[in-house]
Structure 1
Amino acid sequence: MTGIECFMPSLSGEDISVTVESLSRSAAFTGVTILSGVSLRSTETLRSIAEAVHDKFVLLYTKDKPLEMGMFALDRIISIAEDTGADMLYADHYTVKEGEDGVERKHKHPLIDCQKGALRDDFDFGSVLVFRTRSFKRAVKAMTQDYEWGALYDLRLRMKKIVHINEFLYSEIETDGRKSGEKQFDYVDPKNRAVQIEMEAICTEHLKRIGAYLPPCFKDPDPREFGDHEFPVTATVVIPVLNRVRTVKDAVMSALNQKCDFRFNVIVVDNHSSDGTKELLDEIDDARLVHVIPVKHDLGIGGCWNLAVHHELCGEYAVQLDSDDVYSGPDTLQKIVDAFRQQKCAMVVGTYQMTDFDMNPIPPGIIDHREWTEDNGRNNALRVNGLGAPRAFWTPLLRTINLPNTSYGEDYALGLRISREYRIGRIYDVLYCCRRWDGNSDAALDIEKVNANNLYKDRIRTWELEARIRLSSRA
């Protein structure tokens, strides 16, 4: 019979008993090794496992809480591994959470497929990872660099065939109860910087192995490539809006109050608001405000951006401002246009401050994306979950690329596409206040929405990855 060995961190005595008893219900289970005082995320630990394991499959359990396998779950995983020839497998599961009433309940925790472009180091595989031992040993043997935190990431990037079993095969205890809007900033938290340096190095080496790495050679924006463009103003602030009567005036006024040595305007694309937003905008008496209502009723945020960028009154530079946010001062627009001129770039990304509705700073504070470097930023952009804000674009190029007509990830897709050829400029001064309030659409998402968002961004990365591989192969 095919066997499977388990390796897991040290648990309390009772938790070990519960976990081992659960695993031992499968006849394929041959034993467990407790990894006391070492981390599964270190290369040294993976090497010791590779030397110790002898059965056909190896299971790594990554949590320090008790695990409960479902009925015949291990047998099911092994069966699918044999049928598919998978190198690595992971499965949907239940999470056990304590409710407000103090009662623990199981909640379904579905996962998503791991695509070629799923390069995020925080990809959710769950806590039960099963590997074909031959593939595991081959991957570990190929590791030439020792990592303290990124070894599991390095390992899974070396797996050729990863299979997602969309069946609920085990239960684990929830150990991170934060909202989705809080988790999304982990990779820019300064206290995680050392970890992120490792993850970037691992991802970069992976891109080199598969032929997707791009060296720091950039095209300069050249107006001659894009035909004749006559712009009525130098810069346009673009504000897509849908039912933001509480906040949109703050956004518009922060844009109109900019002090610049050039002409600018503000294009608000009102996506058929029904809460009084239209009427409020009509009351603002300023010739620089262009209020656009789409003819079409199928536009997402990206579609609203496309409408603004192709508008005859759009300026040479199109600058982002969300309808519930504000610029941090009257010099934001000037700094952005100066950056375009000084850094010879086709896109500029600034720094923002997280605040509450009343503009008081809140954690995680200033988001400056200092993980970005000119040498490797566009490669690392395939790993991280965002590029920062505010974002601004050179309009002639943007009119040829356009944004996906979506309301999530459209700006990230555009940033990846631009960075494939052009330099992205950075500003590390705070330019923008990102307001968190009960009306935010992304403050606390359920697992289905988080999965849908992550699946789409991974799809964007996959398409970009394939484009870069093709580009590199022609070089």
Structure 2
Amino acid sequence: MKPKTTIILHSDPQNNQLAEQFKSTVRSIVSQINRDFDVIFLGITDTKTRDSLEKNSIEITEIKIKDKDFAVLMNEALKQSEADNILYIDNRTNPVILKKAALEAFQISAVRNSKSGLFYSDYELEDGGNIKEIKLLFHHTGRVRDNQDYGKVNFIRREALDKISLFDESVKHNSLYDMRLKISEHYKITRISNKFNGSFYKVVASKKKANVFDYLLAGKDVQLEAEEVVTNHLKRINAYLEPGKFMTSEIKYDDVSTLAASVIIPVGFRPEFIGTAIESIRAQTVQDIEAIIVVNGGDNDPTIPEVKKYMKGGELYDPGKPEVYLIVVDINSIGFCLNLGVNQARGKYYVQLDSDDRLKPDAVEKIIDCFRSSGDIGMVIGSYEVWEKGDDGFLSRMKDIPVVTHDEWTEDNGRNNLLRINGAGAPRSIPIHIIKEMGYFGINDDAYARNYGEDYEMVNKIAEYYKIGRIYDPVYEVIRHSGGTDHAINQEVIDRNDEAKDDMRKEIILRRIAFNTI
């Protein structure tokens, strides 16, 4: 009689897992209250492990690795399985320990959700002896990032795998990503959530912590393949934008600007940084510009007197330098601040500058040159270096992080691939009239948005109609510090930010499907 489920796991875990940790994974399989399963190991396991399973009347199969890619191994395992369901345990880099009732719970959920092809659940994370409950995000159409966490254990209907012709063996690095996107095109994907003590399994943490620049260390071949995976997915769901489709060939408008550019800085309670940002504007090789500082902390914000030092009557005022203007509001909304600056701007182009960052002296010059290089550019995005402010107040370049060029952007496919990644680069510059044409920046009126993603939404909108110009020389300096929004951010903040951008991705995908059906 064929088993209802085949459990597939790796017998050669990496990351210096101890033999005892692997045994704990096996013991958790043996202890399942639902006994209707067999086990397939990807790799050859030891005699004691085989004996412990066979002693409990669990049938096992071993797949020899022989330098085979993941997709090839999985397909060999699936061809050995006769079960209706697959429970895949990704124990390659972390020990995974199932709760005793995990398999039974997955199977009941599968009965309840007959239109779902893949199931995933919240899990416990053991880190240094402490247990933390990891709450994953619910799946929807916008979850197309390749780094989206679907946990270490997936319960998959065999019919769903057959529907997508098992794993694509041409995909070498992103097999699970490719599989998930393909299944989502035909079936629902179900998250099983946990309120308290309801996780299905435990993962033993590695020592690595979240870092917003981790993606820079991914190999080029991995990134290119992930781009191909998401591009093919967009094509299959009719959300792909063909090169040049819907694009404006030449931008025509009534230019009422009186300056070359307006650098707009939203800021709140950062008196220690704003002077450095303003000085970088005053040092530009192009002086036909202005600085618009929008303070969002109200009348008592200590940033205000620092800004006033650079205005008429201030001790640092210089009539030969770009004018500094101040707007004060009592609503902390980055998009709102940007829109106020846009409405006051006298420049032809908006130039981004965060209050704790700096522009290179030739930034505005290179941005304007890029716009002038082609009449169909609706946005210019530069490249940046990452700097760090030490406890002594000095700034130093973080040389272990390369210049962030976002060179994964291509003219033909950048606007499709942008749905996979979390940003397009910095600084960003947009003609003022196009910002207004696009309906301004979001002011936290998008689902889940909390001063995050308003620029990401804008890039995606503009890229649907206009060419994006790129500058691959560093023209911007991101400064990391203990109070920065990207400094050692925790999982709660990461999840909140991902919710915001993924909801934007969903709306973008639905909009592009509508474009393609016209």
- Same topology, TM > 0.5: yes
| Cα separation, 2, equivalents of 1:38 and 1:309 | 60
| Cα separation, 2, equivalents of 1:429 and 1:133 | 49
Which amino acid is 1:390 matched to?
P
TM-score, with normalisation over the residues of structure 2? 0.84
How do 1:262-281 residues align onto structure 2 when only pairs under 5 Å count?
A: 263-272=288-297, 274-281=300-307
1:428-467, Cα deviation, whole Å (9 max, x unpaired): 0000110111110221222222111111111010000111
Which amino acid is 1:8 matched to?
L
Aligned to 1:101: none
Contact 2:297–2:332, Cα closer than 8 Å, also in 1? no
| Cα separation, 2, equivalents of 1:334 and 1:212 | 36
TM-score, with normalisation over the residues of structure 1? 0.91
Counterpart pick for 1:334 among 355, 365, 374:
365
Is 2:344 the partner of 1:321? no
| Cα separation, 2, equivalents of 1:81 and 1:376 | 37
| Cα separation, 1, equivalents of 2:235 and 2:423 | 22
| Cα separation, 1, equivalents of 2:119 and 2:514 | 29
Is 2:269 the partner of 1:243? yes
1:13, distance to aligned residue in structure 2 (A): 4.4
Contact 1:308–1:314, Cα closer than 8 Å, also in 2? no
Give the number of the structure whose alpha-carbon radius of gyration is greater: 2
Is 2:190 the partner of 1:163? yes
Counterpart pick for 2:257 among 222, 225, 231:
231
Aligned to 1:374: 411
The aligned length equals 456
How do 1:155-234 residues align onto structure 2 when only pairs under 5 Å count?
A: 155-159=179-183, 160-167=187-194, 168-175=199-206, 177-178=208-209, 180=210, 182=211, 184-189=212-217, 192-217=219-244, 218-220=247-249, 222-224=251-253, 228-234=254-260
Contact 1:20–1:32, Cα closer than 8 Å, also in 2? no
Q: In structure 2, do the counterparts of structure 1 residues 129 and 193 end up closer, same or farther at CA, with 3 Å as the change threshold?
A: same
| Cα separation, 2, equivalents of 1:269 and 1:221 | 32
Aligned to 2:381: 349
Q: Secondary structure at the match of 1:392?
A: strand
1:146, distance to aligned residue in structure 2 (A): 0.7
1:19-52, Cα deviation, whole Å (9 max, x unpaired): 1221232324512222124789733223223312
Contact 1:188–1:371, Cα closer than 8 Å, also in 2? no
Aligned to 1:149: 173
Q: Secondary structure at the match of 1:87?
A: strand
Q: Secondary structure at the match of 2:377?
A: coil
| Cα separation, 2, equivalents of 1:244 and 1:314 | 25
Q: In structure 2, do the counterparts of structure 1 residues 51 and 354 end up closer, same or farther at CA, with 3 Å as the change threshold?
A: same
Contact 2:384–2:476, Cα closer than 8 Å, also in 1? yes
| Cα separation, 2, equivalents of 1:92 and 1:286 | 58
Structure 2: unaligned runs, 5 residues or longer:
44-64, 311-316, 445-450
Q: In structure 2, do the counterparts of structure 1 residues 163 and 2 end up closer, same or farther at CA, with 3 Å as the change threshold?
A: farther
| Cα separation, 1, equivalents of 2:203 and 2:243 | 43
| Cα separation, 2, equivalents of 1:41 and 1:412 | 35
1:252, distance to aligned residue in structure 2 (A): 0.8
Q: Secondary structure at the match of 1:152?
A: helix
Structure 1: unaligned runs, 5 residues or longer:
99-103
Aligned to 1:398: 435
1:129, distance to aligned residue in structure 2 (A): 1.1
Q: Secondary structure at the match of 1:356?
A: strand
| Cα separation, 2, equivalents of 1:461 and 1:216 | 19
Q: In structure 2, do the counterparts of structure 1 residues 229 and 299 end up closer, same or farther at CA, with 3 Å as the change threshold?
A: farther
| Cα separation, 1, equivalents of 2:338 and 2:332 | 9
1:275, distance to aligned residue in structure 2 (A): 4.9
| Cα separation, 1, equivalents of 2:266 and 2:105 | 48
| Cα separation, 2, equivalents of 1:136 and 1:390 | 43
Contact 1:61–1:127, Cα closer than 8 Å, also in 2? yes
**Percent identical residues:** 29
Is 2:383 the partner of 1:359? no
Is 2:340 the partner of 1:307? yes
Aligned to 2:85: 57
1:177, distance to aligned residue in structure 2 (A): 2.3
Q: Secondary structure at the match of 1:34?
A: strand
| Cα separation, 2, equivalents of 1:220 and 1:397 | 15
| Cα separation, 2, equivalents of 1:253 and 1:242 | 18
Contact 1:318–1:393, Cα closer than 8 Å, also in 2? yes
Is 2:68 the partner of 1:68? no
Which amino acid is 2:120 matched to?
Y
Aligned to 2:58: none
Contact 2:271–2:306, Cα closer than 8 Å, also in 1? yes
CA RMSD of aligned residues (A): 2.0
Q: In structure 2, do the counterparts of structure 1 residues 370 and 29 end up closer, same or farther at CA, with 3 Å as the change threshold?
A: farther
Counterpart pick for 2:132 among 92, 97, 107:
107
How do 1:275-294 residues align onto structure 2 when only pairs under 5 Å count?
A: 275-284=301-310, 285-286=317-318, 288-294=323-329
Which amino acid is 1:31 matched to?
D
Which amino acid is 2:149 matched to?
D
Counterpart pick for 2:453 among 398, 403, 409:
409
Is 2:118 the partner of 1:91? no
| Cα separation, 2, equivalents of 1:307 and 1:153 | 41
Q: Secondary structure at the match of 1:246?
A: helix
Q: In structure 2, do the counterparts of structure 1 residues 2 and 8 end up closer, same or farther at CA, with 3 Å as the change threshold?
A: closer
The answer to which structure, 1 or 2, has the higher relative contact order (CA under 8 A, 6+ apart) is: 1
Q: Secondary structure at the match of 1:413?
A: helix
Q: Secondary structure at the match of 1:383?
A: coil
Aligned to 2:53: none
Which amino acid is 1:22 matched to?
S
Aligned to 1:35: 42
Which amino acid is 1:211 matched to?
N
Which amino acid is 1:32 matched to?
V
Contact 2:378–2:462, Cα closer than 8 Å, also in 1? yes
1:417, distance to aligned residue in structure 2 (A): 1.0
Q: In structure 2, do the counterparts of structure 1 residues 38 and 174 end up closer, same or farther at CA, with 3 Å as the change threshold?
A: farther
Contact 1:58–1:132, Cα closer than 8 Å, also in 2? yes
